[in-house]
Amino acid sequence: MDEITTQPAATPPDPVLAAINFDANGLVAAIAQQHDTGEVLMMAWMNAEAVRETLATGRVCYFSRSRGRLWRKGETSGQVQHLRELRVDCDGDTLLLLVHQDGVACHTGRRNCFFRSARDGGLVEIAAPVVSPETLYGHTHG
Amino acid sequence: MDEITTQPAATPPDPVLAAINFDANGLVAAIAQQHDTGEVLMMAWMNAEAVRETLATGRVCYFSRSRGRLWRKGETSGQVQHLRELRVDCDGDTLLLLVHQDGVACHTGRRNCFFRSARDGGLVEIAAPVVSPETLYGHTHG
């Protein structure tokens, strides 16, 4: 007679995570957009844990490729991103995060990271810092 | 006596390309945003040649990772993106393309690719196709 084992109830797969095609490094690109103005603030990366935490807490958490660990946006600078909505694109390899950004998104002290524009064959700065990086990060910048 | 050779005048480096940190595959992420409404349409990838062509022609050209070649957006579907402005982010690994999108950006026939939203623990479709993929691609969809 076959042995019958009692299987624990399987955890239902998270439909959001299941729709994401994480890359070979386990990451997915995430675009942060200010929900009410439409301003594109930045692009960063998330792993599954970052997606899970962001959805659970409502506070945006990325995965820092340079530091190799979770990066709770604003953990040092105080410039937190509050999630309003998370969207997944057609092929599951990019997320769009509609957020409310406290203060500035860019580590240079600018509101968003896209402050250089290709104009007349050159690259022109089109936005100045609204807060100094020293104010954001003190002496431990980086 | 040392030989003196006449060097051809060096081509000045393109300041836009010089500011971009292409990844190990020679690619940079590019976000397309409708310039007047702020709608984030899609995210795709560019190599140096795609950036150069896009700036030269004013018509957005990506690099298709699946097809391994330049992808002139709309070459099959007619859904062309007209460049209004190209911006480079703080660390040079993401571009923001402000465009005018002819028709729809998504191959599913939706205006943008981010039509699935995480809501109440599930994933909900928040936009329907405005044109059928068959109309866009005929029998050669892909």
- Residue B141: the pLDDT is 44
Q: Using CA atoms, how far apart are residues A5 and B129, in angstroms rounded to an integer?
A: 47
For chain B, percent of residues with pLDDT exceeding 70:
89
What is the least distance, in Å, from the CA of A56 to any CA of chain B?
10
Residue A7: pLDDT band with limits 50, 70, 90: low
A15, B121 contact by CB (below 8 A): yes
Q: Supply φ then ψ for residue B136, to 5 degrees.
A: -70, -40
- What ipTM was estimated for this complex? 0.90
pLDDT tens digits for A63-115? Answer: 999 999 999 999 999 999 999 999 999 999 999 999 999 999 999 999 999 99
| Chain A interface includes B87 (CB < 8 A) | yes
Residue B6, burial from CB neighbour count under 10 angstroms (0-12, 13-18, 19+): exposed
In this prediction the pTM is 0.90
Cβ-nearest to B40 among A85, A96, A115: A96
CA distance B139 to chain A (A): 20
- End-to-end, the C-alpha distance of chain B in Å comes to 63
Test B89 with A114 for CB contact under 8 angstroms: yes
Sign of CA dihedral A100, B35, B13, B27: positive
Digit-coded pLDDT (tens) for B58-106? 999 999 999 999 999 999 999 999 999 999 999 999 999 999 999 999 9
> Which strand ranges, in their side-by-side order, compose the sheet holding B122-125?
A40-46, A28-34, A94-101, A81-88, B116-119, B122-125
Local structure of A59: helix, strand or coil:
strand
The helix/strand/coil state of A118 is strand
Interchain pair B90, A96: CB under 8 A: no
For residue A53, give the 3-state DSSP assignment.
helix
Average pLDDT over residues B30-49: 98
3-state secondary structure chain B: CCCCCCCCCCCCCCHHHHHCCCCCCCCEEEEEEECCCCCEEEEEEECHHHHHHHHHHCECEEEECCCCEEEECCCCCCCCEEEEEEEECCCCCEEEEEEEECCCCCCCCCCCCCCEEEECCEEEECCCCCCCHHHHHCCCCC
